[in-house]
Amino acid sequence: MNLKSLFNLVKELYDTPEGGFIPLHEPRFLGNEKKYLNECIDSGFVSSVGEFVNQFEREIAKFCGSKYAVATSNGTSALHAILHAIGVDQDCEVITQSLSFIATSNAIAYTGATPVYVDVDLDTLSLSPTALEEFLHNNAQKLETHTINKHTHKVIKACVPMHTFGHPARIEEIAKICKEWNIILVEDSAESLGSYFLKNGVQTHTGLEGVASALSFNGNKTITSGGGGAILTDDEALAKKLKHITTTAKAPHPYEYYHDMLGFNYRLPNLNAALALAQLEQLPSFLSSKLEVAKSYEEFCGKNGIEFIHAREGTMPNFWLNAIKLEDKAQRDDFLTQSNANGIMTRPIWYLNHQNPMYKHCQNDGLKNSIYLQDRIVNLPSSARIKI
Ligand SMILES: Cc1ncc(COP(=O)(O)O)c(C=O)c1O
């Protein structure tokens, strides 16, 4: 592999002098960030109440095409709140992919439920509908209103696919299987803000197929609010419940503090929402800049015999993190060593969730593709370019 010329391409893309460091994904603050933050500070409303957070909810819902959005303190809390709100608890199991950031499993575990791991597709790197169907066929029993795991007798209450690195999962197929088995679909869309797929010929944002989905605005994401997240849903009752439980379930009253159910302090602070709003205004330009970066990588890889994880037909990923697939673990490790030594931050896929001590006991389907990909995938620097 022509490493030197790949490193040169990365340096060119990010206009970095010799000896400079290129992070994997860094935020760009090129718009109204300081203006809105100052306005927010001047208003005195920096915490859980304020106009920026309300406006951000309206704008993010509009951008993604959901009826409602509930802003949260981060993506993990968004996912946890959804699972809690739909009744996932210690008597339940939740199917997800092991190839994900640990937050996906953690959010499930916070409810007391147990994650069950099903494999991903090699092209989307996201939950495989074929593997899901096969797992359910071999391990689950469909009852009148719900599905149980034949081995543990627990209810398989929900399924949480994740759109890995912004590549849309085969979500319509997954939704169909979940419906057949009475399993609630919740999307982990933390990485896929600005990722679309064609649904009946119409460009549709990820995160709208399930009952709700979670977004993340962590510092390394396509837009950032420092820390932050949001829930998307079209279900009015669920949206109301989620707003309620993410604001400590406080019954509205001018001065009394009465909480009518278990709630969480999960609201996105107004101060963070001010930042988020300014970032959201720039999202279209971040996305086109990231697409340009992805195209440069794809072209380079095509010419140099490197497998680039490209957009599956009918999908428009945000290319949150560009990924290449190397030949084996040895080549992967060599690539990681050399690129990082050259000031170019690259990284492998996370340890698969089930390889972490908390989730070692959880059932899985063998995860053949996940393990194969873990040994071969690396992410390349993918920030929006500085001049966009
Ligand atoms: C797949 C996935 N799920 C959940 C999260 C959690 O988001 P946050 O860090 O905002 O809690 C992240 C990102 O950090 C993620 O990549």
75 lines ligand 1 (CB under 6 A): yes
Is 306 found in the same domain as 259?
no
Ranges under pLDDT 70 in the chain: 387-388
CA–centroid distance, 272 to ligand 1, in Å, is 17
Q: Which atom of ligand 1 is nearest to the CA of 229?
A: 10
Could you tell me the CATH number of the domain that includes residue 297? 3.90.1150.10
72 lines ligand 1 (CB under 6 A): no
CA–centroid distance, 18 to ligand 1, in Å, is 33
Instruction: Report the nearest-CA residue for atom 8 of ligand 1.
Output: 75
pLDDT value of position 9: 95
Domain contains 367: no
320 lines ligand 1 (CB under 6 A): no
Is 163 found in the same domain as 103?
yes
Domain contains 359: no
pLDDT value of position 387: 66
Q: Which atom of ligand 1 is nearest to the CA of 107?
A: 4
Catalytic residue set: 221
CA–centroid distance, 377 to ligand 1, in Å, is 19
Taking only the tens place, the pLDDT of each residue in 111-136 is: 999 999 999 999 999 999 999 999 99
The whole domain housing 159 covers 33-280
Could you tell me the CATH number of the domain that includes residue 59? 3.40.640.10
CA–CA separation, 16 vs 295, rounded Å?
A: 19
194 lines ligand 1 (CB under 6 A): no
Q: Which of 260, 280, 300 is the last residue of a domain?
A: 280
Is 115 found in the same domain as 7?
no
Is 295 found in the same domain as 266?
no
Domains in the chain: how many in total? 2
Taking only the tens place, the pLDDT of each residue in 30-66 is: 999 999 999 999 999 999 999 999 999 999 999 999 9
